[in-house]
Chain A
Amino acid sequence: MTNSIGRRAALAGMVGTAAVTQSRLAWAADPIKIGFSIPQSGGLAALGRQALLTMEIWANDVNAKGGMLGRPVQLVTYDDQSNPANVPPIYTKLLDIDKVDLIVTQGTNLTVPAMPIAMQHGKMVLTMLALAINDKFKYPRFFQTMPYGPRGKQSISEGFFDVAMGMNPKPVTVALVGADAEFAKNAVDGAREEAKKHGLKIVYDRTYPPPTVDFGPVIRGIAGTNPDIVYIGSYPVDTSGMVRAARELNFRPKLFGGGMVGTQATTLKADLGEMLNDVVSYELYCPAVADKFPEVEPILKKYQPAAKEKGIDPQGYYVPPFTYATMQILEQAVTGSGGLDQDKLAKYMHATNFKTIVGDVKFGPDGEWDHQRLLWVQFRGLKGQGMEQFTNPSAEVVLHPVEYRTGELRYPLGPGKQ
C-alpha cells in the first residue's frame, strides 16, 4: 500500500490491499473512491508511473481543499503490468469488491478491455492517452482527454501536413514510414489520408518490424526516392534510430518528422540532443506555451522533485499536465453534477466547457475533444546532449495550431550541429 502524504493501514486486513492515497485530515464522511488499473511495470510503466504520481498530487490538492462534495478522495490502484489480459479482473475487483465510485483508465490497449466491464456496470469512463476507442463502442458515457479531436487517426498528422503545405514552393512528394505497431500504424494511416487530401505524391510507403535496430537501410531506401517531406510514425527506440540514421547519412529533406513517440520524453530528447535540430514532432505541452497555460508550472513544480526521487521523467511536460487536467475534469463533473450518479455525470460532461490547467476542454458527441489541439513543434538551437536545454522555451518552437504558434517553420532540414 502506498500513500503520498501519510500512511494508513486502512486496508491492511482486506483481501488484496490497494494503493491508496489519503489525506491526514480526519473526515466525517466516507471517501469517494476513484479506481484505476495503471501500468507500473512492463512496457508502458514510464507513462503509467508519471500518471500515477500526478494523480496523487491532484488527490492531495483536492483533499487539502476539502475534498469533493465534502468527502475525501481516495485513489485505489492496481498494476496491470502493461498487459491487457490483466485489466478485466482488475476493473471487476475495483467495481465489485473495492466498490469504487468512479473509474479512470489509461492507454488504448489497456482501456479497451475495461470497456465491457464499465459498460456492464453503467460506469462513466474517463480515459487518458487513448486513441479512437469509442469509434467501436459508441458508449455515451465515454470521455477521452487527449486533444486528438473527432478525427482520431488524422490528428497525429493533420498539423504536420498543414505546416508542410505552408512551405514555398509547396512540397510535391512525401515518404511515409512507420513501425508495425498500433500507434505508429494509426499515425501513418492518417498521414496517408492527409497526403491524399493535400494532393501529395506518395513516393515511399512502407513499414518496418518493431524490433528493428538498424535504420540505415530504411533511411537509404527513403533517400533513394528523394521525397520533399518525410512523415514517420515511430516508437521511442525507432524514433532514436531514425533520427540517428538520418544524421549519419546526412539525409536532409525539406521536412523530417511526424508522429514520433519519444520526442516528448526528456531522457530521449536529452540523449538525441542536437541531432533533433529542425525535426518536427508533436507535443501536448512545452515551455514555449507556458505563458498560455500558467497553471501548469505550479503543478510541474510539485511533480518534478517527486519524479526525480522516483526515477521517472524529471521534467514531465508530456503526461502530467493532461493527467492533472483529466482529474480536474472529473472533480468539476462530480461537484457540478452534485453527486456520483453516472448518468448525470455523463450528461454534465457532454454539456460542460471545463476549465483546466491545459485550457478549456469541451467534449464532442463521441467523447473526444470537440476539436484537435496537438502542438506541432520544431526543435531548434540544441547543442550537444543534455536535458536542461529543453527547459528553454526556444528549444521547441510551436508551429501549429496557429493560436499557439511561437515561430515559423525552418526548412530544409539543416545539419545536426548548427
Chain B
Amino acid sequence: MSNRLFSALIAALVVALWLAGRLVSNEYVFFVGYAVVQYILLATAWNLLGGYAGYINFGTAAFFALGAYIAVAINKLVDLPVPVLILAGGVAAGALGLAMGYLTLKLRGVFFSIATLAMAIVFQAVITNWSFVGGASGAYVLRPNEGPWGGSYVEYLFYLMLSMAGGAVALARIIERSRVGYGLASIRDDELASEASGVPTLRLKVLATVLSGALMGMAGAPLPFYVAYLDPPSAFNLSYAVNTIAMPLVGGTGTWLGPVIGAVLLTAVQQGAMVTISSAANLLLVGLLMVAFITLAPNGIVGLVRGLANRPSTGGNKK
C-alpha cells in the first residue's frame, strides 16, 4: 500500500470516528478515548527514536510537559485556540529535541538513556521554579464547557488528539519506508558500520529526536485543558515515561504498527484496571506485560505474529 493511500485511509478513519462520535452521548467514551489516542501519539513518537534508531529515551515526560507548559504560558498571555497552542508546544519540544540531540546523541546505550532521564529531572526543577506558569503551586486552566463545533470541550480535545495520533502514525509509516527509516534501522543494527558506509548518523538521529520530541510536545499541549490543573508532579509523572516505553515494547518496536497495538492494549488494560481492580495493580500490570514480552516475545506482538506467519509448515509435504 502506498504512503498516500495509507494516509488517506487514516484520514478516512479519523472522519469515520468523528461521525461515529456524533452518535455517542456518553462523555466517558471521549475521556477514555482521549487517553488511548494520547498514548498512541506518545508511543509512536517514542518509537521514532527508540524503535527505529534503538536510542532509548527516558525523557518523554520532559517533552510532554514542555508542550503542556508552553500551552499554559501562552494561554496566560493571550487567548488562542488549542490547535495553535499544540503547534507552539510542538515547536518548543522540537527545539528541545534539537538541543538534546546535539548534547546527548554522542552518548550511546545506557549513557544516552541516563542523560535523557537527567534532562527530565532538570527540566522539572526549572518548571517548578517558573512562577509565571504556577511553579510549584500549579496552574489552573479553566476550559469552556463546549467545543467550537458544538459538543463538549473534551469531545473536541479527543478529536484534536485523534487527528494528531492519526497524523503521527502516517508520518511514522512514511519514515519507516524511506531512506531516513532505513538509515535509522542501520544505526539500530550497527552504528559504526552504518557510519562507515556513509550514513549521516548524527544528522538522522537529531532528525528523529526533533520529530519525536515535537510530537510528544504536541501530545502534551492539550493536557492542561483536559485536566484543568497542571502541576509539576503530574505533568512529569513517571507513568508517561514508563507507558511510552512499554507500549512499543509490547506491540513491537521498529514498526509503525507496534506502538499502536501496544498503546491500545495497555491503555485499555489500565483504564479497565482503574475502574475494576482499583489499585496500584495498574502499573504492576504494565510491568508484568513488559517482562513477559521482553522474555517471551522480544519483538512484541507484531514480531510474534510475523514469526507465526513465516513459520514453515511442518506437515503434509512428506513423500
Contacts and interface: CB of A to CB of B under 8 A. Distances in A.
Given A81-B274, A136-B140, A209 B31 contact: no
A368 to B, nearest CB: 17
Contact of B137 (A17, A89, A116, A182): A182
A76 to B, nearest CB: 10
B272 A16 contact: yes
B237 interface: yes
A90 interface: yes
Contacts of B142: 116, 136-137
> Which of A96, A115, A116 is packed against the most chain B CB atoms within 10 Å?
A116
A373 interface: no
Contacts of B234: 83-85, 109
B136 A40 contact: no
A77 B278 CA distance: 9
A101 interface: no
A89 B271 contact: yes
A180 B227 contact: no
Contacts of B275: 16-18, 78, 90, 93
B136 A180 contact: yes
Given A17-B276, A78-B278, A96-B27, A88 B137 contact: no
Interface in B222-237: 223, 226-229, 231, 233-234, 237
> Which of A89, A97, A109, A112 is packed against the most chain B CB atoms within 10 Å?
A89
> Chain A contact residues: over half helix, strand or loop, or mixed?
helix
A152 to B, nearest CB: 12
A18 B239 CA distance: 23
Given A180-B128, A185-B136, A186-B137, A88 B226 contact: yes
Interface of A: 16-19, 40-43, 77-81, 83-90, 92-93, 96-97, 109, 112-113, 115-116, 119-120, 136-137, 179-182, 184-186, 207, 209-210
Give me the 10 closest cross-chain CB pairs, A-B, nearest first. Answer: A41-B280, A112-B229, A16-B275, A89-B31, A180-B136, A79-B278, A185-B136, A84-B234, A92-B28, A136-B140
A182 B227 contact: no
A97 B26 contact: yes
A19 B143 contact: no
A85 B128 contact: no
B154 interface: yes
B268 to A, nearest CB: 12
Given A16-B276, A89-B271, A185-B137, A84 B27 contact: no
Interface string B258-284: 000000000000011011101110110
Contacts of B35: 89
Given A109-B231, A182-B138, A40 B278 contact: yes
B152 interface: yes
B55 to A, nearest CB: 26
A289 B237 CA distance: 40
Contacts of A207: 136
A84 B28 CA distance: 16
A200 B234 CA distance: 36
B135 interface: yes
Given A78-B275, A109-B234, A136-B140, A88 B227 contact: yes
A112 B228 contact: yes
A80 B140 CA distance: 19
A210 B135 CA distance: 13
B136 A184 contact: yes
A90 B274 CA distance: 9
